[in-house]
């Protein structure tokens, strides 16, 4: 059993904690929180040992009637691996603590690639994480792009990728984010940082990205153009992509016209929190003009990195091959629509 602790129990951390609990070869040692809010209450109700992320605030938990299992350093000592899902910048600062206890850690996409031994997407570079002290599971958008580029690169070769990322303004719980009535070039400068981030996974891929932020909370939408080194048919591309467990081809017959119905479908099929762990590629959107492939894909920003964190835990500790780890993760979570 790999003993795993989660430091930072918010949007990503709570999903990763549930996913760890679902694995046959992992034990969730506990979760660390900064304050006794509703997420702390939910963690306790689920039976997760709760640790104070900021020791000076332990009393706040006691005052709120929430029992603590200890402080964050106790969680680190009790764990073989820590998944750090704290806000951007905090994870990097926490690394000193993980190093003190010689406990390897997995950071999230908000951290700098320079702060880690390797950036990670299971489908693309699983083996690079073995034996690393600090691994970064890349952002939701970079994960989605890398998963798509992986089979295209292997099967056809990628000459150039150009992607417009139409990004949700904030997650559903982020009431202070926006815009609420506008469309923002974000960043207004070209290219956006997403292309360089993909290069932390695929250094040799030529990719340019631009970003737009819109008043939406459910998912991101990518408008993708990839110039391939060969000229496959649409049917061949469809087959290639549908063979990938973490790519879901949204069938025309489903009548799913946007991210709202995608999320509705996820909830109707009993997905926890309505999570879509897969890239959702509209089947009808796949088009090939000469060497150019076009498609639309949606990325559920709160969910697609969750299976990647699970695979990163196994990759880092040298357990399981890429194929076996992904298969176990997918089976236990129910990935693959």
Q: For residue 69, which phi and psi values (nearest 5 degrees)?
A: -85, -15
Closest separation in Å from C-beta 226 to ligand NAD: 23
Closest separation in Å from C-beta 167 to ligand NAD: 10
CB nearer to ligand NAD: give 237 or 259: 259
- And the tokens for 57? 């605030």
Strand partners, 51: 32, 70
Q: Verify cis geometry, omega within 30 degrees of 0, for the bond prior to 207.
A: no
- And the tokens for 302? 């709160």
Does 140 qualify as catalytic in the annotation?
A: yes
Closest separation in Å from C-beta 99 to ligand NAD: 16
HSE-CB at 154 with a 13 A cutoff on CA atoms is 11
Kindly give the pairing relationship between strand 287-289 and strand 292-299: antiparallel
Burial class (CB in 10 A: 0-12, 13-18, 19+), 176: exposed
296: Cβ contacts below 8 Å, ≥ 6 apart: 221, 222, 223, 224, 281, 282, 285
Closest separation in Å from C-beta 85 to ligand NAD: 5
CB nearer to ligand NAD: give 158 or 211: 211
Closest separation in Å from C-beta 227 to ligand NAD: 28
Distance CA 262, CA 304 (A): 14
CB nearer to ligand NAD: give 50 or 205: 50
Q: Could you count the other beta carbons within 10 Å of the beta carbon of residue 170?
A: 18
Best CA proximity match to 5, nearest among 26, 34, 35, 36: 26
The one catalytic residue among 28, 107, 140, 335? 140
Closest separation in Å from C-beta 24 to ligand NAD: 25
CB nearer to ligand NAD: give 108 or 155: 108
Q: How far apart are the first and last CA of the chain?
A: 28
334: left (phi over 0), alpha (psi -120 to 50) or beta: left
Distance CA 250, CA 241 (A): 11
The beta strand positions in 62-157, using DSSP E, are 70-71, 81-84, 105-107, 118-120, 134-137
Residue nearest ligand NAD (C-beta atom): 10
CB nearer to ligand NAD: give 89 or 318: 89
Closest separation in Å from C-beta 95 to ligand NAD: 12
Q: Does residue 116 sit in helix, strand or coil?
A: coil
What residues line the site for ligand NAD (CB under 6 A)? 7-13, 32, 34, 53, 85-88, 90, 108-111, 139-140, 171, 301-302, 305
CB nearer to ligand NAD: give 177 or 238: 177
CB nearer to ligand NAD: give 11 or 156: 11
Active-site residue list: 140
């Amino acid at each position: 059993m790999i003993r795993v602790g989660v430091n930072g129990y918010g949007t990503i951390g709570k999903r990763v904690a549930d996913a760890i609990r679902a694995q046959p070869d992992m034990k969730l040692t506990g979760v660390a929180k900064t304050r006794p809010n509703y997420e702390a209450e939910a963690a306790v109700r689920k039976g997760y040992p709760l640790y104070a992320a900021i020791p000076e605030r332990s009393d706040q938990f006691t005052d709120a009637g929430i029992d603590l299992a200890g402080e964050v350093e106790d969680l680190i000592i009790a764990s073989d691996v820590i998944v750090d899902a704290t806000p951007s910048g905090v994870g990097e600062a926490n690394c000193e603590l993980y190093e003190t206890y010689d406990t390897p850690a997995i950071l999230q996409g908000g951290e700098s690639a320079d702060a880690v031994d390797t950036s990670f997407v299971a489908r693309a570079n699983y083996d690079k994480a073995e034996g690393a002290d600090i691994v970064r599971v890349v952002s939701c958008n970079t994960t989605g792009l890398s998963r798509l580029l992986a089979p295209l690169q292997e099967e056809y070769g990628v000459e150039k990728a150009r992607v417009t990322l139409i990004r949700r303004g904030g997650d559903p719980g982020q009431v202070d984010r926006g815009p609420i009535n506008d469309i923002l070039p974000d960043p207004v400068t070209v290219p956006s940082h997403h292309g360089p981030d993909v290069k932390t996974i695929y250094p040799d891929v030529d990719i340019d990205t631009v970003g737009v932020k819109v008043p939406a909370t459910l998912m991101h939408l990518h408008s993708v153009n990839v110039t391939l080194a060969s000229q496959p048919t649409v049917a061949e591309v469809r087959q290639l992509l549908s063979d990938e467990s973490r790519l879901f081809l949204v069938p025309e017959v489903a009548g799913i016209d946007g991210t709202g119905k995608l999320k509705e479908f996820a909830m109707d099929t009993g997905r926890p929190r309505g999570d879509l762990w897969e890239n959702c590629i509209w089947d009808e959107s796949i088009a090939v003009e000469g060497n150019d492939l076009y498609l639309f894909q949606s990325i559920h920003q709160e969910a697609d990195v969750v299976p990647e964190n699970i695979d990163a835990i196994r990759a880092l500790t040298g357990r399981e091959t890429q194929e076996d780890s992904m298969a176990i993760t997918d089976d236990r979570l129910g990935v693959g629509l």
